[in-house]
Structure 1
Amino acid sequence: MRLHTTTWGEGDRVALLIHGIMSDHRTWRRVGPALADRGYRVLAVDLRGHGLTGPAGSYAAEDFADDVVATLPAGAELAVGHSLGGLALSLAVERLAPRRAVYSDPVWHLPDGEDGYHGELLARAKTMDGEQIAALNPRWDDVDVATELETLKVWDEASAYGVESIVGKDLLPAGPVVPSLVTLADPSRLVPPERARLLAERGFEVRTVTGAGHTIHRDDHDAFMAALEGWV
């Protein structure tokens, strides 16, 4: 499936941005221009079921990865994936072959059981209002809250159920295909300390962004960009 793509900048170097579930290219509203200011031509996709791409019949993890490969150019200088986008990037990275990859609080494991992932609960986020979004994301500014409201309107909540296909699976990469940085929330529910240590042992650089929640780049944009120093 070909994905809708938004571009910032006209630099010679290419950076790819892949958002997480419920979101779209607008989550990168500050990161895209910041990378463009550093000389990148930045391409941000809307994954299937999100943004201007529209719904699809299947939402398996491999579908998201295949779409990214079908849409984005291989050999970019940098590729960044957040949450579900981090999983999609890891499944596509060998084919995309960026020079560097950044995985931001990636979904490489979703626990099952009573305290695990439930697609039905996530799908209910479709109906959240601004107050609920702000309560869940106390560090977001008003623009991000308003943007999230607009994003949810065009999100296909069926994608929340599709992600259930990875519940209970361990998709932690065996090692980096290209030089790779993992940025983590503080604390990260998706990559707890023991898994972070394992990633470091496997050759990933791991950096925790102090005080940031799961959507690091919206919780603390400046700290997120600082965590990318040496990689962008």
Structure 2
Amino acid sequence: MRLATRVWGNGPRTAVLVHGIMTDSRSWNRVAPAIARHGYRVVAVDLPGHGASGPAADYTPHALAAALLDALPPAPDLAVSHSLGSAALLPAVPRLRCARAVHCDPAWLPRPRDLDALRAVRHATWADLRAAHPRWHDDDITAERHALDSWDPASVTALQHLPGLPGAPAVPSLVLLPGPSERIPPAEAAALSRSGWHLRTVDGAGHTVHRDDPAGFLRALRGWL
């Protein structure tokens, strides 16, 4: 399927951004312009069932990866993903042929989740979202409320098919974690480091690092942009 995209900048290099579950490409609004100022054309995608992209029959990470490969420009200089977006990007990286990849608090490891409770988030109010995300800018809360209106709750089934901890990265790759991370515990982070992944932490940030602490997120990308 053809996915909707959002673009910032017109630099000579290309960066692609892949959001997590329940949100859409607007989740990068606070950081994408800064990435573009480093000389990039920044292309952010709406995953199937999110934003302006239509729903899908299959939300497994491999199906999401196939959709990314159809939608994103080939051989980008940089690919940045978050949460479920990292589960989709991981199998796409070799065929996408990106030069570098950054995975932000990736949803790679299965966790016990109440899928019905996650589906119910679609009905969260602006006040509910503000209470859940006290560090987000008001504009992010508003964007998230709009994103939930178009989100397909069936996409939570993707969380039943997560890939597990990967081996060696296919390209130079950074795993950017909040401090602490519930998704990549210390033992698993150490295993990633031994396998050749670079790791950095933004202390005090929550799962959505680029919205909790946009400045800290961008500082953590020094040397990768």
TM-score (normalizing by structure 2) = 0.97
Aligned to 1:163: 159
Aligned to 2:30: 30
Q: Does 1:195 align with 2:191?
A: no
Alignment check: 8 A CA contact 2:110 2:159 kept: no
Determine what percentage of the aligned residue pairs are the same residue: 47
State the shift of 1:24 in Å.
0.5
Give the letter for the 2:72 counterpart.
L
Aligned to 1:92: 92
Q: Which secondary structure does the structure 2 equivalent of 1:191 belong to?
A: coil
- The separation in 2 between residues aligned to 1:16 and 1:141, in whole angstroms, is 23
Aligned to 2:215: 222
Alignment check: 8 A CA contact 2:115 2:156 kept: yes
Pairs within 5 Å for 1:140-179: 140-166=136-162, 171-179=164-172
Alignment check: 8 A CA contact 1:94 1:177 kept: yes
Large movers: runs of 4+ above 3 Å: none
State the shift of 1:2 in Å.
1.3
- The separation in 2 between residues aligned to 1:95 and 1:61, in whole angstroms, is 15
Alignment check: 8 A CA contact 1:103 1:180 kept: yes
Q: Which secondary structure does the structure 2 equivalent of 1:209 belong to?
A: strand
Aligned to 1:208: 201
State the shift of 1:17 in Å.
0.2
How many residues align structurally? 225
Q: Deviations over 1:142-168 (max 9, x none)?
A: 1111111011001011111343233xx
- The separation in 2 between residues aligned to 1:129 and 1:118, in whole angstroms, is 20
State the shift of 1:77 in Å.
0.5
State the shift of 1:181 in Å.
0.4
Alignment check: 8 A CA contact 2:60 2:157 kept: no
Aligned to 1:186: 179
State the shift of 1:6 in Å.
0.9
Q: Which secondary structure does the structure 2 equivalent of 1:158 belong to?
A: helix
Pairs within 5 Å for 1:119-138: 119-138=115-134
Q: Does 1:79 align with 2:112?
A: no
- The separation in 2 between residues aligned to 1:73 and 1:151, in whole angstroms, is 24
Alignment check: 8 A CA contact 1:86 1:107 kept: yes
Q: Which secondary structure does the structure 2 equivalent of 1:124 belong to?
A: helix
Q: Which secondary structure does the structure 2 equivalent of 1:10 belong to?
A: coil
- The separation in 2 between residues aligned to 1:80 and 1:187, in whole angstroms, is 20
Tell me the C-alpha RMSD between the 2 structures.
1.0
- The separation in 1 between residues aligned to 2:223 and 2:53, in whole angstroms, is 33
Which consecutive residues of structure 1, in runs of 5 or more, have no partner in the other structure? none
Alignment check: 8 A CA contact 1:118 1:164 kept: no
- The separation in 2 between residues aligned to 1:135 and 1:40, in whole angstroms, is 34
Which consecutive residues of structure 2, in runs of 5 or more, have no partner in the other structure? none
State the shift of 1:117 in Å.
1.6
Of 77-86 and 128-137, deviating more is 128-137
